[in-house]
Chain A
Amino acid sequence: MKDFQLIDDVMPDAPPADPARAMAVRARVLGGARRTPRWSWALAGAAVVSVLVAGFLAIPRLGDGTVHTARMSDAATVLDVALDRLAARPSGSGARWRRETLEVHLSRPKGAYTVERRIKDVVWRDGATVRTERTDLSAEPLTATDRRAWKAAGSPPLCAAEDRCRIGSARVESLPADSVGYPVGPAAQLPTDAATLRRHLLRLHPQGAPESRENFLWNLATHLLKDIEITPATRAAVCRMLAASPGVTVVDGVTDVEGRVGVALVQPPRENDMQELILLDRESGELLGLQEALLKPNPEYADIRPGTPFRWELIRSLGWTDEAPTG
């Protein structure tokens, strides 16, 4: 008899896979494995205007730089329906609001090898304070080839000198809530209509600020979605506001670094050649994550590979809870 046979015998088995569902999973998984023409993110960005006319947008398949196409005519509908569902959700309840994110960063020191760094980022808000816990989970050469190149370079530290990794050790910081972020007012009372919300938020844009109004609005919107205990109805309004902003495109079928598929709000290229996108669940409209790419080579970002995403923030959980931070 094999080891622990009793457990195998007694514990309930999983029912057989539904063939249709198994086929769908196979298509989803192997969709990422099939080779498609390699278009760079930059090319995709440059091609947006002409491609949109044809009704399709080429986007990078995140993680390996390949692309697939998504029907634009469907994307706006998918977003609209998902945001209707989101807006109808109750706010939830609990003593604290908590958000947990897994950040994945790719860098190429001196262009020689790629390092993947993973960080867990947790935010707690209880009305009075904002507590952040940031924990380095790992920093490793991405592939076996990268590992060989790293060793050939003398195995230098895998984290940048100005941002040393402390693997497994949480950096905890607690600050008064009113000292952190933008002074948007009480989160629960923010507008639930996109146009009203836009007017409200643009009042915070400082006169003469070097940052454009649209860039400011994008950054503030991502902050609200990720870090503030706004209601589901306001979350939906934030997304609708961005979807209606100049240059923002809506793309369905975008896959993140872990293979989750969503509908994305894609920021227009910024002056520094960076571009961010916000990924939402196609069904619930909930935030799946954010990711960023450098669109073309830029000497200021020599350690970032252009044309493919280099940073992901993957939402693990977000909402009200009665849990409390420890330590």
Chain B
Amino acid sequence: MTMSLDGTVADPERFATVFDAHYEEIRRYVGRRLDLDIAEDLAAETFLVAFRRRHTFDPARGDIRPWLYGIATRLVGRHRRAEVRRYRALARSGPPPDGDGHDQRVVDRVAAGVTVQRLSAALAGLSRGERDVVLLVAYGELTYDEVAAALGIAYGTVASRLSRARTKLRDALGVEL
């Protein structure tokens, strides 16, 4: 979802618009990377940090979404060990029995041999920087430009991290992503 937020971010009274438009997707993004109890807190913290730093948001340099995803990703980075532990746990036991993600597409993928267990193990094998760019693309649906803006890194760095990650994932899973 893209919004025109010129002036909205910097205006405390109108910051509610930013929260309402993006809280759920940021919470979902963090909640797919960390356990929910941590994720709920980090999603809230993302918006508290965004509010405090609202004057540093420059709409001329990009949309609000990459900016929020960037803050959330940096907060997730403080829990990288917990994230890797979570992937390793998923790699051992798979998703919770009533977890989401059992639609036909998943059935197809599982039939192709790409299970939650194998994918979790593969994600645990990525470096933090590689995982950040991959998951911003996969979960946040950010473009490479937006990933670069979110993480404050060069476009070329995004591309090279994605390339390395793609190779590692292909080697681990035996399929192209």
On A, residues with C-beta under 8 Å from B are 2-17, 21-22, 25-26, 28-30, 32-35, 63-64, 143-145, 257-259, 316
Interface residues on B, range: 35 or more
Residues on A with beta carbons closer than 8 Å to the beta carbon of B123: 7, 11
Q: Are B24 and A35 in contact (CB under 8 A)?
A: no
On B, residues with C-beta under 8 Å from A are 12-13, 15-16, 19-20, 23-24, 27-28, 30-32, 36, 39-40, 43-45, 47-49, 51-53, 55-56, 58, 78, 90, 95-96, 99-101, 105-106, 109-110, 114-116, 119-120, 123, 134-135, 137-139, 141, 162, 175, 177
Distance A3 CA – B101 CA, assembled complex (angstroms): 18
Residues on A with beta carbons closer than 8 Å to the beta carbon of B90: 12
Q: Are A14 and B32 in contact (CB under 8 A)?
A: yes
Q: Are B12 and A34 in contact (CB under 8 A)?
A: yes
Q: Are A10 and B32 in contact (CB under 8 A)?
A: no
Q: Are A33 and B27 in contact (CB under 8 A)?
A: no
Residues on A with beta carbons closer than 8 Å to the beta carbon of B40: 17, 21, 25
Q: Are B106 and A14 in contact (CB under 8 A)?
A: no
Distance A6 CA – B101 CA, assembled complex (angstroms): 11
Q: Are B28 and A13 in contact (CB under 8 A)?
A: yes
Given contacts A14-B28, A25-B23, A35-B12, contact A7 B101 (CB under 8 A): no
> Closest 8 CB pairs between A and B?
A14-B31, A259-B48, A4-B138, A13-B100, A143-B55, A7-B138, A12-B95, A33-B15
B110 — nearest CB in chain A belongs to which residue?
A: A10
Cβ distance A109 to chain B, nearest Cβ, rounded Å? 19
Cβ distance A44 to chain B, nearest Cβ, rounded Å? 20
Distance A33 CA – B13 CA, assembled complex (angstroms): 7
Distance A2 CA – B144 CA, assembled complex (angstroms): 12
Q: Are A7 and B44 in contact (CB under 8 A)?
A: no
Distance A144 CA – B106 CA, assembled complex (angstroms): 45
Distance A259 CA – B43 CA, assembled complex (angstroms): 12
A30 — nearest CB in chain B belongs to which residue?
A: B16
Q: Are B55 and A259 in contact (CB under 8 A)?
A: no
A22 — nearest CB in chain B belongs to which residue?
A: B23
Q: Are A6 and B15 in contact (CB under 8 A)?
A: no
Q: Are B52 and A10 in contact (CB under 8 A)?
A: no
